[in-house]
Homo-oligomer: A and B are copies of this chain.
Amino acid sequence: MATVKLPDDPEADPRIKAVFDDIRATRGSDFINNLWLYLAFDPQLLEEVWRDVRDVMAKPSLIDPKTKEMIYLAVSVANACTYCVHSHTAAAKAKGMSEAEHAELLRIITTAGRTNHLLNGMQVPVDDVFDAGG
C-alpha cells in the first residue's frame, strides 16, 4: 500500500534509467529498493533525492560510511519513519555495523530520547557557555 503509483516499466524513461544505472554503479549491486522504484513516478524528484543522498552518503567525506548510516538511522528512529529505519539499519549492517554496535546505537538513541523529553519537560535555561554564535 502506497500513496503513489509504482510505474509499470520505469526504465523505459531514460531519465529514470540514468538514475537507476547510477544507483547500481554506486552500490555495486543490481538491487533497486522500493524507495527508488516508487519515486520513479516523478523523474525530477527522483533525480533530486538521489543526487542528495548519493552526495552525502556515498561520496568520500570526513565521517566514515558506517558511522554516516548510524547517524542517518538515529534521525530516522526519532522521526518514526518505518521505511527509513528498516532501510538504514540494513545499510548500516552492510557497511559493517555489528550486532553489538547496533545495540549500543539503540542505547544512545534511547538515552537521548529520554533526556530530550526530560529537558522539554523541565524547560531549563541554556547555559551561556554553550553559545557558539556570538
Residues of A near any B CB (own CB < 8 A): 1-6, 31, 33-35, 38-39, 41-42, 44-45, 48-49, 52-53, 56-57, 61-63, 67-68, 70-90, 93, 98-127, 129-134
- The A interface, classified by DSSP as helix, strand, loop or mixed, is helix
Ranked 7 nearest A-B pairs via Cβ: A2-B133, A113-B117, A78-B78, A42-B103, A75-B112, A81-B116, A86-B130
Residue ID in chain B nearest A125 by CB atoms: B34
Number of copies: 6
Q: Chain B residues with Cβ under 8 A from A124's Cβ?
A: 2, 34-35, 38, 83, 133
Instruction: Choose among B71, B107, B110 the residue that contacts A108 (Cβ–Cβ < 8 A).
Output: B71
Cα A3 to Cα B93 with chains together (Å): 10
